[in-house]
Amino acid sequence: MEGGTMFGSGKRSRWLGSATAALLALPLVVVPPAAGATPPTTTPALFTQVTLVTGDVVSYSPNAVQISKPRPGVRYDSYRGPDGWHVLPSDAAKAVINGQVDKALFNVTYLVDNGYADAKRTSLPVIVDYDGKAAARSADRVAATDALPASKATRALPSIDAVALDVDKATAAQLWQAVVVAPSTQQRGQGTQRLLLDRRYSVDLAESVAQIKAPAAWAAGFDGTGVRVGVLDTGVDATHPDLVGKIAESASFVGSEPDAIDRHGHGTHVASTIAGSGAAAGGVEKGAAPGTQLVVGKVLSGSGVGYESEIIAGMEWAAGRSKIVSMSLGGPAPSGADPMSDAVTNLTASTGALFVIAAGNSGPAVGTIGSPGTSPSALTVGAVDKQEQVASFSSRGPVADGSVKPEIVAPGVSIVAARAVGTTMGAPVNDKYTAASGTSMATPHVAGAAAVLAQRHPDWTANRLKAALIASTKDLGRPVNDQGAGQVDVKAAIDETVTATPATVGFGVLEPGAGAQTAMLTYRNDGTADVTLNLTTRLTDPTGKAAPDGTLGLGTRSVTVKAGSQAEVPVQLTPGKAGRGSFQGLVTAVSADGSVKVHTPVGFSNGEVTNTVNFTVLGFDGKPLLRDAILWILPVDRKGADLQSYIIHGGGTLRLPTGRYYIALNFYTDEGPGLLETNAMVVKPDVLIDGASHQVLDLGTTRPVTVKTDEPGMESAVIGVANRTTADGAFWSFHHTAGVWDNNLYINPVPTVTAGKFDFQYTTTVTRSQLDVTVNGVAVHPDYLAAYGGGHDWIAPKKLKMFEGRRQLGIVYVGGGTAEEFAAAGDVRGKLVLVQANDMLTGAGIEAARRTAAAGAAGLLLFDKVWATRRSSGDSNELIPVGYLTHPEGVALVAALKNGKGNADVLGNPISPYAYHLAYVERGQVPANLTYTVRTGDLARVDSTYHATTEGMYATSFQRGGVPELMLVEPLMVPSKRAEYYGPITDRTAWTRFTSTDVAGQWEIMSARSAELRRGSRQSDDWYTTPMRYGQGEFFNMPTLPAPYLASRMGDSVYVFPLLQDGNNHVTAMIPNTAVLKTGLSRDGKPVTGIGGAPVTRFDVPADSGRYRLDLGYAPGGDYKVDTAWEFTSAPAAGTAAKGFACWDDIGEVPADKPCQALPTISVDYDLNLSATNTATAPGLGLIKFRPHHVGDIRTKVTSAKLSVSYDGGKSWLRGTQAPVGDGWQLGLVPHLRPGGTVSLRVEAMDKAGNKVTQTITNAYRLAK
């Protein structure tokens, strides 16, 4: 960087990583490229709700992300790449891009996959990182952090000058405001620098002591006696015979497990690999350092995972008590802040402890070393097998700065070590031992070797121990980014008298054209005789191909190191001789008799040739843009492309490597064309950079995307999507919202893209405006924003005051709505009041509404004086109808009045009678004409009824095809009916429709079956009809996903995965917030213990056949509940899942070819013929249709069905009158006697094989006049 500044420089500036673009002295802020994370082995195939640190609630599935509860005034950008979905609220974008806030806090894929979803946690663990400029004790830091709203400090992390805290999700927006948006004086005084996600890390699973020559060291009298080794893992089984007497201290840092007992097995395996006595195997299975004592810190739970703050706390504890700290854990190295690696570096410097850390199991790909093994102070360990071949799973180097990692390897394949009691980790050998593979298993071998060496040299600290272990390795002849210096050799380490410093030579990432580089290598001879060393070099790329001759050289090929002295040898690098990329090698020094052999790894990377690219950003007025915008740059012609993002205004300069790029600008303004809220996209999908370049991003070239429909309407839930694929087929998707309400999306025309794939998508919903006001020919369309609330309450079930129908009202302008202005306006009773509030964000609008209601006015129209289009909501619609205007609408209305008074034509439409759900896809281009005209006859019509027992708000959304996309919800008052039009219908594409609700705290997203819609077709659909119950779904939430079996058997386990269904068989896998779902299984009358919980419960059962009963109890709150009991016979599974269905275990969906069997649970469908309020008329006769049947490939015929009815909440039951009406349906006749009462239903059915179901729905529906 030349002459500029970068956020976060100074302390821990290396967290910014190495970007391919160098920032020059113009007002840009750079964020490092996003590293593509390894995809999880399983992804939840359902909508999962997760709350962001901003308080925004997102519903996530692999194919779609929905902003469940958008905040008024906030826009949402989203992008999807190899590392998942990122959702970026507009008030977070700058803080994320400039590094103040960890972008992982907005990676909803990572959050869901790693246990941060709302169903898993009610709080969000974060780390508040300080910049070190404000001197403070840890206690003061904790006190300052604990004073923050919506959170509680959990521990201080002094090694990285940070504090961990849990953020209450329900009030997270308060913390966001206090730390990021408007930090307090106290917080600024503490020097807060970053807000980071407290990431989860896990265990690194994938003849050994003899292989590293440990027995020879023992024979020489060195077995680690007197040395303490810290083991940070899942705890330890201190009762295991191999570890009795080996544990010096233990402590747990896992909040949910306060003891150090190992319930996983990994920690015990690691501990015994270091210090095990082998007592349970007659001394055979000894650890590498059986004389050492262990300091065990439990930092990972019984499931093998732990939070970053817990691990760092354990590191701080162990480093003060141990000479060596072994860490067989890790995760993908973050592209930004990496507190764990920093903790390793800082603690090594302050305590002298050597951290021995697993490289990770993400090989054989290059550059896959995990954190915290990326720390330069760590001794990072890869794995080899018994044949001394590098294991395929072992992570490879180099790290981002070109340094050599791993530095060393050790046995890590099929390692037999102690098995903790009651655990099944690895492949159990017997009740005392288990075999496991991974760099986790290699790491304790090296930790043990370090303990033996520390006994030999008790005065040595981390740097000397590390250097000696690396120098004395056995070179296996593999590329250094695979093996480091080689395999650890304990005997050679304790015998070696000559060592080299530094332990590794790293030249870093060099600029193109960099000249010769020199580093000094110092050999130290602690022996009693002079030693002459002959020096050789080898240097290869990651594939093992030798670098050109002359790239790596030495100042001398022979050097004599006198006894008790040292000698220097220049290591010379001529990078220009090698091509672009990374290179690693060894400098090997050998004495004439071979008794001394010293290895030193060497590494560097040649950077790419870059080109100067000047950017100019112009506003809508053609002048340089003075406000912040987001600049996205994505290389599209290379594999493993990383997205770069910047904050830019006016212009800036970057240096970019030669290649093709997707370049896009995203700009939000409330002062855009026509003073309307505008989200503008300037997109250049295929820009060739092969020399100096000037890129102009001109907002003036953008055009509004508009839709014209047969019926008048306002657009809402507007989303623009730009999709781009890269050379390796990676799909990147950039989503930009123009708001939940009527706002503008602008984009520039784009010529046809021929290289790779590009498309533009536009989705919107058009509905009738809820309120039309016309004064002297000036028509405005206010919004009832109080209906949408804010944050977690945006779909609140409020009884809102709204105009309905047409009326003529007087209208009076009352200025800013102060008490004095109301008094001056005179009598406003029965009139419409117009107020220009002075910044509604301060609550001025709510106060004006209260004054208006008190004055007896008919209603209020509000617009903001400060913001051009800012719309603020409040609770005032419960008092009086309050419509919110845009600033231009308000100004126009004032101008239409004479002396502040006039007459208004008011037309109220609280519920739109129609909705157009429209999706347009432009393949390969963005056309110049972005006005879409749609005719109702060209669309598919669905007459939808939204049932609700109480008045409130639902939200609807839709998806065209299976293309991953961000979905905004369109709010809808319920109960209601409307005609919904979908289209345009241009091909045989499946459409999926969703409805979500938060009535009475019940949150879920229900889905209709994905189906092709035909032009001109018409159908009906009823949502949230009674009865709501759990059972076997016939489809799943997304078009391409098979429906999970309610109950399935795999081997000796029964898995239960119920879906919530309404009376029209819409489904969801989500459990409403306040609902209680109880699952039980019994065999031959005896209960079977369930393991896990929602959405999947596992029951382990005997291998033979048995009679089972499955019970599901669902109580959403109130007096409504459903109890279902299924009885069936089950034996071990045979066959596989039927087409369209899938078995799920407690990890996720199992492969389609895995043996599994659907259990014969009988489903019951219903048609209760209820009103939109889920009530029936009384007195009268109820027509109850029900159908017991099997779903999927079970063809057993249902032979009997019985309907019973209760009018006293299930205390007594009467047999209903029923008759078959075809296709398995039964029609029951149920007397409806008294208005105000309830009707409970019970269906009992049995099939030909004796499988049974009894479903009792208590207070299924109410009776109304």
Task: Please list, residue by residue across 525-543, b when 16 or more beta carbons sit within 10 angstroms of its beta carbon and e when fewer do.
Answer: bebeeebebebebbbbbbe
Q: Give whole-number Cα distances, 820 to 631, 814, 815, in Å.
A: 48, 9, 10
- In this structure, are residues 123 and 169 in contact, taking their beta carbons and an 8 Å threshold? yes
- In this structure, are residues 178 and 187 in contact, taking their beta carbons and an 8 Å threshold? yes
- Residues 174, 179, 180, 186: what is their CA dihedral angle, to the nearest 10 degrees? 130
* Helix %, strand %, coil % of the chain (to 5): 15, 40, 45
Rounded to 5°, angle at Cα 1197 from 1192 and 1199: 140
3-state helix/strand/coil string of 586-597 = EEEEEECCCCCE
Both tokens assigned to 1159: 């259990």
- In this structure, are residues 969 and 996 in contact, taking their beta carbons and an 8 Å threshold? yes
As annotated, the active-site residues are 233, 266, 440
Listing DSSP states for 1086-1128 in one string gives: EEE-EEEETTEEEEE--SS-EEEEEEEEEEEETTEEEEEEEEE
CA distance 1110 to 80: 40
Q: Of 511, 581, 569, 500, whose CA–CA distance to 540 is shortest? A: 581
**Residue 969 corresponds to which amino acid?**
V
CA distance 447 to 466: 10
- In this structure, are residues 1093 and 1076 in contact, taking their beta carbons and an 8 Å threshold? no
Q: Of 1147, 996, 1125, whose CA–CA distance to 1073 is shortest? A: 996
CA distance 960 to 964: 10
Helix, strand or coil, per DSSP, at residue 997: strand
CA distance 1069 to 47: 7
Listing DSSP states for 449-467 in one string gives: HHHHHHHHSTT--HHHHHH
List alpha helices for 648-736, DSSP H: none
Both tokens assigned to 631: 């600049």
Q: How many residues does the chain have?
A: 1265
Q: Rounded to 5 degrees, what are φ and ψ at 661?
A: -135, 150
CA distance 1008 to 945: 13
Q: Of 1154, 1133, 1126, 1172, whose CA–CA distance to 1029 is shortest? A: 1126
Rounded to 5°, angle at Cα 656 from 650 and 661: 85
Q: 377 in the Ramachandran plot: left (φ > 0), alpha (ψ -120 to 50) or beta?
A: alpha
Listing DSSP states for 166-222 in one string gives: EEEGGGHHHHHIIIIIS--HHHHHHTEEEEEE--EEEE----HHHHTTHHHHHHTT-
CA distance 957 to 1183: 32
Q: Of 702, 897, 792, whose CA–CA distance to 150 is shortest? A: 792
Q: Give whole-number Cα distances, 165 to 156, 334, 1028, 1059, in Å.
A: 9, 20, 39, 35
- In this structure, are residues 449 and 372 in contact, taking their beta carbons and an 8 Å threshold? no
**Residue 975 corresponds to which amino acid?**
P
